[in-house]
Amino acid sequence: MPSQPSKELVVVPNPHPNTVYDVEMNCAEFTTLCPMTGQPDFATLTIHYQPKDHIVELKSLKQYLWSFRDEGHFHEDVTNLILNDFVSAAKPRFAKITGDFWVRGGIATKVTVTYREEAHA
């Protein structure tokens, strides 16, 4: 059965929750629609995070990113939405998402948003 877009990010237990390590995923085929023109906007998304108790299952990430293909979002908005959903699902120590959007009208846009778990005293 073919895959479908989904807003659900599935997480699984981190096999090394006591180790601080970095994961970086590059998603070179991200698309969303310009909310002003309806034209497609293309980007490479880079997701960099330090897992804590969970890691994000990659097929669900692919389906999640696919869910933006037919939605209208400004670059700043969609990058922040993805970070917020990612942090909500995975609850990482650290996460940074960079949306490197292709040139449109002579302007390329790069948006970077960061989350850092607050230290608890």
Query: Amino acid identity of 85?
Result: D
Catalytic residue among 22, 34, 77, 100: 34
Query: Amino acid identity of 81?
Result: L
27 in active site: no
85 in active site: no
Beta-sheet strands, E only, within the chain: 11-13, 23-33, 40-50, 54-56, 94-104, 107-116
Q: Which residue in this structure is represented by tokens 């023109």?
A: 37
Instruction: Report how far residue 59's alpha carbon sits from residue 119's, in angstroms, rounded to the nearest whole number.
Output: 31
- Cα dihedral sign, 84-88-89-90: positive
Residue 102, both tokens: 């292709």
Catalytic residue among 22, 27, 41, 77: 41
Q: Which residue in this structure is represented by tokens 């970086």?
A: 24
Active site residues: 34, 41
